[in-house]
Chain A
Amino acid sequence: MGTEVNSILPLLAVMVSAAVVPILASSRSANVREAWTFVAAFGKVGIVLAMLPHVLRGDKLSFEIAPVFPGVSLAFRVDAMGELFALVSSFLWIVTSAYSIGYMRGLKEHGQTRYYSYFALAMSSTMGVAFSANLLTLYVFYELLSFATYPLVTHHQDEEGRSAGRRYLTYIVGGSIGLVLPAMLVCYGSSQTLDFTPGGILANSGLSRFELGLLLFMFVFGFAKAAIMPFHSWLPAAMVAPTPVSALLHAVAVVKVGVFSILRVLVGIMGFELLLGQALGGILILVASVTIVGASLVALCQDGLKKMLAYSTVGQLSYIVLGASLLSENGLSGGLIHIATHAFGKITLFFCAGAIYVATGKQNISELNGIGRRMPLTMASFLIASMSIIGVPPTAGFLSKWLLITASVDSGRLEGLFVLLLSSLLSAGYLIPVVYRAFFLPQPEGEPTSVVAEWRSPCSIAAMVTSFGCLLMFLSPGLLLGLARKAAELYLGV
């Protein structure tokens, strides 16, 4: 095992985007604002990459901000799990910033200063969650993220935004204050610490099976950002936000923070051994499966492109929970890698949706006949990303799916296998028709047939970059697998 090294890098990674906010908020020129956003984004990726060698060696970079309670302080500790999440998020921030420029300028959106400022704050909070050393720090940044993303979700400041914002806060903050906070307290009360420890902290807590099960439920449903059914309806509602917000936050940052938090709790607070010993894995698998199948079925019935993608996200997130509930090394690795593969795949899909909207104003699937001829590269990216979501080679999604399937079979949880295969079919069911319509159906009468200038559109370019990422991750998965294995090594002692 590696050593624990004191380093200010985690703090810098978190603060670099927050530090830029005053500049963003006060700049008069759009170019200055966007330039600084890029500076911050590249800076963040740079710092995260700088920590990578340490993490791969097994060292943990830690930094304490302030002690707050006996046994608990606000602190960062960078390990493989956090580094994986941070890498994905920070890299995709760069891409999304480019995308945002194209989108916001293309639609001449208002309030762009506020948008970029809160985006930067949201990214700070996401990094904070990724690098948290204990549950309390994670909770702090989780809450900060909720409030930092509210102005982003409600950006359009209209009636739809108002009700979407209300639902967003009700589920997310209601869940964290109402469920996670008491659960955290019980954990602290039993073990006097909240640090993420291999093997968990509740092993000697003397809690009964019922109490542990209750705690488990409080955490899983309390972290409502993970959109486990039935606390998922904020996600489709939040689609009223501008597409770059939907793309990064709801396909990558916000929802991934939710499942990441659940993973941290399962691995570092409760511990796989404890869950195995108390036979709590099965219930979790059930909950995850219901969400996967249910969300996929609802996605099949959607006409709005973004709504369909939202429900697809709900289902895909529970893959990660399912992986973890298998309580095995492959399951955890599969879940972690899925964070990355789903992120790239889903963000591509959202980018395409936004590119289509900017170029043609279309939002519904039924309107997309023949659009492949006008935007071939965009739709090709859509196809690649769809393959990744469905889980077929040569895309990255296949990697995580394979690990999850292997884990299901290994742990003898054949219901997991069944659910994974079924959901692949269902994903195909709601994604392939879009591609089919785009390429194989003729355009409706009276529509322009000119090819959209995709090479000049940042939106389409961003989509192409991330779809390329999907392919790349399949072809050279070394880094991902390395980080995932390191995480499993750390927390499961394998």
Chain B
Amino acid sequence: MDRILEVVIAKYNYWIYIVLMMIGLYGVIAKNNLVKKIVGMSIFQTAIILFFISMGMKKGATIPIIIHGQEASVRASDYINPLPHVLMLTAIVVAVSTLGVALALAVKVYKEFDTLEEDEILEKIRKS
């Protein structure tokens, strides 16, 4: 029991993001309303983004901005890793575009079927 608690507490950030991911995945799979699915998908993507960012953190480090003229005395361990942040900027853009497309599609689906509940839509398709 102690070992497990140790592992959880030591890496609590990763655990939080895993839980978030699972919530997001649950939303996409189990929810009936299309917008809720989209929200779930967005939570899933955001959790991964946060995961990446947290992997760049270092103990006692500061934001990775170097003051002009002090490049010589820079030690890498004083600054958090900027690469994941950069990567995640791109990933955020991707997530936002996906979200936009998904919402636009939801609008079209609503126009076509008059509802956003998946079971009702499937009923309508089955009937036609």
Q: Do A and B contact each other directly (Cβ–Cβ < 8 Å)? A: no
Task: Using CB atoms and an 8 Å cutoff, list the residues of chain B in contact with chain A.
Answer: none
